[in-house]
């Protein structure tokens, strides 16, 4: 058997999954030079080249692809074996990296996260909030909370709940421009787009189990719900947004629901994780906690 160790294997796998030595170094809390030496040492021990290194990217060789696939299963088996030994005598612990959209993270995850951490006091959590779809593997994310359609088939998704949406505008805007009674009338209004969930300039509207698509135009498109909410409150136009962002403004009258007979199709709320055979206990615990907190009831 060739002489190499677990540290070198983890360095190789992390470089592959993050796409580079610098990112791998950040994740492993080591220098890029150290990570490079570990991979080179592994290649020397195996007597074969695993990676093609260029100034722009790192690609697996044919031998590297096969070795990576086998090593992944080995590392997963080791992690699973460790958890089996610890089950029943140690609490869930380790590092847990979570990613979520900014508005949902602030408004919904932040209030419940301390309860989860109090249940598992030996767990170290990093919550990353940003309004774009994070590359889970490249950034070392264990679980991402996502809203809307899922595009990445390499991820494993667990549905948590539905996210209802509604059409709304400020009373001042409606007094000045009139309140639309049918979706077709939206063509005559300034429609503000939440681009994180609706990248195209159209809205899908349902009534009597039928869904219709309407093109809309407007002067503002943003991937941040709080920006869109404030613009709508200040009378810039009409928007269609998730309820969790605007429900307080609806309650206190700063915004008004319009087109109540025409419902935007709800979005799904999901917890997604990288596609691996083995899921650590800390990840399973978080997903179950989120499902309990955000279920449709």
Q: What is the 3-state secondary structure (H, E, C) of 222-258?
A: ECCHHHHHHHHHCCCCEEEEEHHHHHHHHHCCCCEEE
Residue-level pLDDT at 197: 60
- What is the C-alpha separation between 292 and 296, in angstroms, rounded? 9
| Tokens standing for residue 16 | 């592959």
Say whether 161 sits in a helix, a strand or coil: strand
Report pLDDT digits (tens) over 61-110. 989 888 887 887 787 777 767 766 665 555 677 889 999 999 899 999 99
- Domains of the chain (ranges plus CATH)? 6-86 (1.10.10.10), 94-162+268-293 (3.40.190.10), 165-265 (3.40.190.290)
Contact predicate 220/192, CB 8 Å: yes
Task: Classify residue 215 as exposed, middle or buried by CB count within 10 Å of its CB (0-12, 13-18, 19+).
Answer: exposed
> Which of 65-69, 79-83, 135-139, 269-273 is predicted with the least confidence, judged by mean pLDDT?
79-83
| Other CB atoms within 10 A of residue 142 CB | 21
Give 184-211 pLDDT, tens digit per residue. 899 899 999 988 665 566 787 777 667 7
pLDDT at 74: 80
Confidence at 277, pLDDT banded by 50, 70, 90: low
Whole-angstrom distance, CA of residue 142 vs CA of residue 290: 14
Q: How far is CA 275 from CA 69, 136, 156, 177, 272, in A?
A: 13, 10, 5, 49, 9
Largest CA-CA distance found in the chain, in angstroms, rounded: 79
Which residues are paired to 59 by β-bridges?
Answer: 52
For the entire predicted model, the pTM comes to 0.70
Closest by CA to 158, choosing from 275, 285, 271, is 271
Determine the pLDDT at residue 113. 96
Residue 153 has pLDDT above 70, yes or no: no
Give CA 224 to chain center in angstroms. 14
**Do the beta carbons of residue 68 and residue 54 sit within 8 Å?**
no
- Rounded Cα gap, residues 113 and 40, in angstroms: 41
pLDDT at 234 over 90: yes
């Amino acid at each position: 058997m060739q002489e190499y160790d677990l540290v070198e294997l983890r360095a190789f796998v992390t470089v592959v999954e993050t796409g580079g030595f610098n990112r791998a170094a950040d994740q492993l809390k080591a220098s890029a030079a150290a990570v490079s030496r570990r991979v080179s040492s592994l290649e020397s021990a195996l007597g074969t080249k695993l990676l093609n290194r260029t100034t722009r990217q790192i690609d697996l060789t044919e031998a590297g692809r096969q070795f990576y696939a086998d090593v992944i299963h080995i590392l997963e088996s080791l992690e699973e074996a460790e958890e089996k030994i610890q089950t029943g005598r140690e609490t869930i612990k380790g590092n847990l990296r979570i990613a979520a959209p900014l508005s949902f993270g602030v408004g919904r995850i932040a209030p419940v996260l301390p309860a989860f951490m109090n249940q598992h006091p030996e767990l170290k959590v990093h919550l990353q909030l940003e309004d774009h779809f994070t590359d889970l593997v490249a950034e070392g994310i264990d679980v991402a909370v996502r809203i809307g359609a899922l595009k990445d088939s390499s991820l494993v998704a667990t549905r948590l709940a539905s996210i209802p949406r509604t059409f709304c505008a400020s009373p001042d805007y409606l007094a000045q421009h009139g309140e639309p009674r049918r979706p077709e009338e939206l063509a005559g209004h300034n429609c503000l787009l939440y681009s994180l969930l609706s990248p195209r300039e159209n809205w899908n509207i349902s009534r009597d189990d039928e869904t219709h698509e309407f093109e809309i135009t407007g002067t503002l498109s943003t991937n941040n719900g709080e920006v869109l909410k404030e613009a709508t409150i200040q009378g810039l136009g009409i928007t269609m947004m998730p309820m969790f962002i605007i429900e307080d403004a609806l309650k206190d009258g700063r915004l008004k629901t319009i087109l109540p007979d025409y419902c935007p199709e709800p979005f799904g709320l999901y917890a997604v994780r990288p596609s691996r055979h083995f899921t650590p206990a800390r990840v399973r615990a978080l997903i179950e906690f989120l499902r309990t907190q955000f279920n449709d009831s």
